[in-house]
Amino acid sequence: MQRIHNVTQLADLDDDALARCYAYPRELAGPWLRANFVSSIDGAFAVDGVSKGLGTDADHRVFHVLRELAEVILVGAGTVRAENYGGAHPDPERRRAHFRHGIGGSADGAPPPIAVVTASARLDPAAKLFTDAETPPLIITTAHAEAERVDALRAAGARIVVAGEAAITATSLVRVLAEHGLHRVLCEGGPHLFGQLAEAGLVDELCLSTSPVLVGGAGGRISLSASGFDLPMARKQLVLAEDGTVLARWARR
């Protein structure tokens, strides 16, 4: 009988053990790009325009542990608008503990900033992203964004970085994170942002929760890009939840 390695039952893992399963590499000379998505069995990334309908308790556990570990949460403006993103609020003591163990977190327990990629800067300065953030968001935008919009986001407390003319290349994006010393990256989507990062060969790791549901519809997939690509991945770990959720961690080969 063939033995399958690195398969764990979620019920056997307490929160510390789960965090160790998702440890970032200890020594990082530059950004390590981890993405996290939830999908239905038939590949949908959203139901009625949001991912909430796909979430399970198991997916939520991993979602929160990944946020505890990350130094920055990178997200496309489409997702911020669709999901009305707020700031991240991981437990400060757990962040400090992860940092002490060298697996992620932060020395002072402060939450990771949300870094939003937006060509247009079309974000509402009164939104939760600004009003509900302990750590100010980082807005990565372009020279084409309207100056008044950018000024309003700055006035709402955001740090602003202009990283392209009309769009930001995936390489520029990763460079901005490196320049800010943000190495443990957690990209929470959406599919357009993730597709560009994957197309550029910059995704180191994908954490994918598959929810035990079929949803049909005409929606897209978790990775959308202008052209197709072939990025071989290796399965690093499978965590199985009692409710049927499959939590997979894939790394670039």
Ligand X SMILES: NC(=O)c1ccc[n+]([C@@H]2O[C@H](COP(=O)([O-])OP(=O)(O)OC[C@H]3O[C@@H](n4cnc5c(N)ncnc54)[C@H](OP(=O)(O)O)[C@@H]3O)[C@@H](O)[C@H]2O)c1
Instruction: Tell me which residues touch ligand X (CB under 6 A).
Output: 37-39, 45-46, 49-51, 54, 76-79, 82-83, 117-120, 122, 142, 167-168, 188-193, 196, 224
* Nearest distance in Å: CB 131, ligand X: 19
User: 68 vs 83, which CB is nearer to ligand X?
Assistant: 83
In the bound state with ligand X, the residue whose beta carbon lies nearer, of 81 and 96, is: 81
For the bound state, the minimum distance from the C-beta of residue 60 to ligand X, rounded and expressed in Å, comes to 12
Min separation Cβ 93 and ligand X, Å:
27
- Kindly state the smallest distance separating residue 209's Cβ from ligand X, in Å: 8
The residue (of 68 and 188) whose beta carbon lies closer to ligand X is: 188
Q: Least separation, in Å, of the C-beta of 170 and ligand X?
A: 7
Distance between CA atoms of residues 108 and 97, nearest Å: 10
Cβ-based nearer residue to ligand X, 23 or 50? 50
State residue 134 phi and psi, 5-degree precision.
-75, -35
Tell me how crowded residue 85 is: count the other CB atoms within 10 A of its CB. 22
Burial class (CB within 10 angstroms; exposed 0-12, middle 13-18, buried 19+) of 240: middle
| Closer residue to ligand X, CB minimum distance, 112 or 189 | 189
Instruction: Tell me the HSE value of 149 on the side-chain side, using a 13 A CA sphere.
Output: 15
User: Any idea of the CA torsion for 52, 58, 60, 64, to the nearest 10 degrees?
Assistant: -160
Distance, in Å, from the CA atom of 8 to the CA atom of 203, rounded to the nearest integer, reads 24
